Amino acid sequence: MSEEQRQKESEVVQEFKLEQDNELRFEVESKEKVTLEALLVQWQLNVLGPADVEEGFSQVCPLIYHYGYKEPGSNVMLYNLLVTKLAQTVAERMEANRQSRRENAVSGVIINTCGWVKGQGYQMLIHAAKAFEVDLIIVLDQERRYNELVRDLPETVKVVFQPKSGGVVERSRQARVESRDKKIREYFYGSAAQFYPHSFEVRFSDVKIFKIGAPALPDSLMPLGMKAEDQLTKLVTVQP
């Protein structure tokens, strides 16, 4: 074998080893991120997918925390607790997305707040803004709310006042109640009746029923180190 042939063979072996090493590194990285990537793909389906005219945005693998009441004011402490947890989970998913998709990573989230913006509802709005660490808030045609947000939020949060478009009217309370009830029904039946729920009987001995929240007790009857506010998020067994 000539010197030139040996050199070519050596180059082929080196090239093969390099490709093999690259392939090995790729497999290791894939195994480390396979679960994370699955979560990111499911998350992006919700964020990047186009909205359907009737059904809205895709509901594939939504992130949901059970609240159990029709109105936020029914259990404010539990509601704020779930908002904080939701914000933490969203932040973790966004950070994971940035690390794995540097060129096409998510840049943030859009939060649609509740229509209750007076009194305690306003305080819950402030809590959500702080929990999600928002940097931009758009106030639609409520100048007083705009001034309050500018006053109560740090300077790092940009608050923008946006007038309503001509012809737009505010929904009545009855309209909001009907819209909420419709969403609750869609959760179980789907918007286009693609789900087929049915009833079946089970024995009470086979199930356990819980509710969130217990009756408030005087401080003198509370266990040592426990506060009355803790009763609002306590799991209580319900005897059928």
> Based on the structure, what is the number of domains in the chain?
3
Amino acid at 77: M
| DSSP single-letter state for residue 135 | S
pLDDT band at 152 (very low <50, low <70, confident <90, very high): very high
Question: What H or E segment, with its residue span, contains residue 186?
Answer: helix 173-189
Best CA proximity match to 47, nearest among 59, 65, 36: 59
Higher pLDDT, residue 225 or 137: 137
| pLDDT given at position 59 | 62
**pLDDT tens string 164-203:** 888 888 888 888 888 888 877 877 777 766 667 788 888 8
The verdict on 137 and 124 lying in the same domain is yes
| pLDDT given at position 200 | 85
3-class state of residue 115 by DSSP: coil
pLDDT band at 229 (very low <50, low <70, confident <90, very high): low
Find all residues with CB under 8 Å of 209, minimum gap 6, and list them: 237, 238, 240
**pLDDT tens string 30-76:** 333 322 233 333 334 344 455 666 666 666 667 788 888 878 888 99
The verdict on 39 and 121 lying in the same domain is no
> Average pLDDT of 76-103?
86
pLDDT band at 130 (very low <50, low <70, confident <90, very high): very high
The verdict on 141 and 226 lying in the same domain is no
| CA separation for the pair 160, 142 (Å, rounded) | 11
pLDDT band at 5 (very low <50, low <70, confident <90, very high): low
The verdict on 124 and 152 lying in the same domain is yes
| CA separation for the pair 131, 97 (Å, rounded) | 20
The verdict on 145 and 81 lying in the same domain is yes
The verdict on 136 and 206 lying in the same domain is no
3-class state of residue 102 by DSSP: coil
185 occurs within a structural domain: no
> Average pLDDT of 84-91?
91
Find all residues with CB under 8 Å of 192, minimum gap 6, and list them: 54, 55
Sign of CA dihedral 122, 128, 133, 135: negative
> Average pLDDT of 89-102?
82
| pLDDT given at position 151 | 94
171 occurs within a structural domain: no
The verdict on 78 and 156 lying in the same domain is yes
Q: Residue 118: which domain range?
A: 67-164
Torsions phi, psi for 11 (to 5 deg): -65, -40
Residue entry with tokens 């660490």? 133
Best CA proximity match to 106, nearest among 175, 39, 187, 158: 39
| CA separation for the pair 235, 210 (Å, rounded) | 6
